[in-house]
Amino acid sequence: MFLIQNTLVSLDVLEKEFCCDLDTCHGCCCIEGDAGCPVSDEEVKAIGQLMPQLMPQMTPEAREIVAKQGLSYLDPSGEQVLSIVNGKDCVFARTDHQGWTYCLIEKMGFAKPISCSLYPIRLTRVGEMTGVEYHRWDICHCARVKGKKMHMPLYQFLKEPLIRRFGQAWYDELNLTATEWNKQCAQR
């Protein structure tokens, strides 16, 4: 782990190679799993304000879930997550006629929750700090293969959402840390 400002960054974030391969997976991360994406109170409030625009575009099943339980719920670990349909599909996931899944929030020009943008990085609380960790999921195998082919480190692939979440100065420090780490590894 590396200490960068008020975060503890896993070595995997610097060393693992990753690049989403939507041509292969078709966005299945939005419709697989057993819980919705983690969201903050602020994100739920912001999405709530967008609901008049989003609701007509949502599936009937998603509208029904939101009407019954709201935009989010607490998962078994106590984390607030977006509501899901059929125990797996995000209420804002839509699938086009070619079988590609997309985020309705993003498609309508709004910022999707930061946890979605950061995936496969997950943020955790570590005392007063934030843990920045790589989450390995089998359905992202094609992204690991593509990342390896492109020599794309995870932290570089996620540059924009990392800057969105932590700021440019934080990312610059992360990039410098990665550069120094790679130099040390090359010398071994």
Question: Is the peptide bond preceding residue 52 cis, with omega within 30 degrees of 0?
Answer: no
- How is residue 58 annotated by DSSP? S
Name the stretches of the chain with pLDDT < 70. Answer: none
* Token code pair at residue 41: 């109170």
- The pLDDT, as a whole number, for residue 133 is 96
Alpha carbon dihedral 162, 163, 166, 169, in 10-degree steps, equals: 130
Q: How far apart, in whole angstroms, are the C-alpha atoms of residue 102 and residue 31? A: 10
Instruction: Decide if 39 is inside a domain.
Output: yes
Angle, CA 162 vertex, CA 94 and CA 106 arms, to 5°: 20
Instruction: Decide if 91 is inside a domain.
Output: yes
Give the end of a domain, one of 116, 150, 165: 116
Give the end of a domain, one of 116, 145, 174: 116
- The pLDDT, as a whole number, for residue 25 is 83
Asked whether residue 124 falls in the same domain as residue 93, the answer is no
Asked whether residue 112 falls in the same domain as residue 124, the answer is no
Asked whether residue 1 falls in the same domain as residue 37, the answer is no
* Token code pair at residue 38: 């983690």
What's the structural domain count of the chain? 2
What range does the domain containing 67 cover?
Answer: 30-116
What residues have CB less than 8 Å from 68, skipping those under 6 apart? none
- The pLDDT, as a whole number, for residue 32 is 80
> Which DSSP string corresponds to 140-161?
GHHHHHHHHHHT-BHHHHTHHH
Residue 107, classed as helix, strand or coil, is: helix
Asked whether residue 109 falls in the same domain as residue 142, the answer is no
- The pLDDT, as a whole number, for residue 34 is 76
- The pLDDT, as a whole number, for residue 72 is 95
Q: Quick one: which of 50, 3, 58, 15 has its CA closest to 155?
A: 15
Instruction: Decide if 52 is inside a domain.
Output: yes
Q: Which residues of 136-158 are buried (b: 16+ CB within 10 A; e: fewer)?
A: eeeebebbbebbeeeebbbbbbb
- The pLDDT, as a whole number, for residue 170 is 98
